[in-house]
Amino acid sequence: ASATELENWKGENGKKVSLAEAVAAADCGKIYLMLGVNELGWKGTNIFRGHAENLIRRLKADHPDAELVIQSLLPVSTDQRILAYNQVWRELAEENGCAYVDVAEALTGEDGCLPEELSFDGVHLNRAGCRLWLDYLRTHSVAGEAPGESASAQTESEEASPAPAPTESERP
């Protein structure tokens, strides 16, 4: 099953809901989307593309005024499917009038993979990885405010402090 369909997110009533349902219930002006690593085991890209298209349609229907920003998959391996899925995301972004941000260019090591110092398990970003990701989004922002830039922006001391480490429940 796709991460978009699994009921892994808690809704307002505490009941688990799908990602699409969780986002539908939120008030969103801009939606940043990064999905696909969990789907790398699927055969071919057609199934992935179908799920991704359905999710984009749903997000745009639920939030017609929101800006949808699609992010590339993280380079968790040199698996060619990552490149193929990123190409699918690029195409879907263009076809659906969405922004595409290639965050992988900031998070790829010399070997083509996510560097060890940016991850605690080779898949999920650690504090340093999250900092690079956020810095990339801030410097490669699409129209409107970049992440973290708002009237309630962090103070300089908060900005300089590293992101919190993931809790046990956030780790796979």
Question: Could you report the average pLDDT of every consecutive run of 10 residues in the chain (172 residues)?
Answer: 61 79 86 88 87 93 94 87 93 96 93 91 91 92 53 33 43 40
Residue 166: per-residue pLDDT: 44
Residue 93: per-residue pLDDT: 97
The 10 Å CB-count burial string (b at 16+, else e) for 60-95 is bebbeebbbbbbbbbbbbeeebbebbbebbeebbee
Residue 96: per-residue pLDDT: 96
Q: What pTM does this model have?
A: 0.74
Residue 2: per-residue pLDDT: 56
